[in-house]
Structure 1
Amino acid sequence: MPDRPSASDESTLLRWMRLEIGRINDDVVSERKRLSRLLAEEHPSSVTKGGSRYDFDRDVLLRLEQVLPGELQRRLRLPILFYFDSTVPDSFFLADEAAVQALQTLGEISSLRRMQGGRLWIAKPLVYAVMNRYPTVMQIVMG
Structure 2
Amino acid sequence: MGADMPNRPSASDESTLLKWMRLEIGRINDGVVAERKRLSRLLQEEHPASVTKGGTRYDFDREVLLRLEQGLPGDLQRRLRLPIIFYFDSTVPDSFFLADEVAVQVLQCLQEISPLRRMQGGRLWMAKPLVYAVMNRYPTAVQIMMR
TM-score normalised over the length of structure 2 = 0.91
One of 84, 101, 108 as aligned partner of 1:104: 108
Q: Which amino acid aligns with 1:118?
A: G
Q: Bigger radius of gyration, 1 or 2?
A: 2
Aligned match of 1:3: none
Alignment of 1:1-143 (within 5 A): 9-143=13-147
How far off its partner does 1:13 sit? Answer: 0.6
Stretches of structure 1 lacking an aligned partner (at least 5 in a row): 1-5
Aligned residues: 137
* Identical-pair percentage: 85
How far off its partner does 1:102 sit? Answer: 0.5
Q: Per-residue displacement from partner, 1:32-88 (whole Å, max 9, x unpaired)?
A: 000000001100000000000000000000000001000001100000000001111
Stretches of structure 2 lacking an aligned partner (at least 5 in a row): 1-9
Q: Which amino acid aligns with 1:120?
A: L
Structure 2 distance, partners of 1:117, 1:34, is: 25
RMSD: 1.1
Structure 2 distance, partners of 1:72, 1:108, is: 15
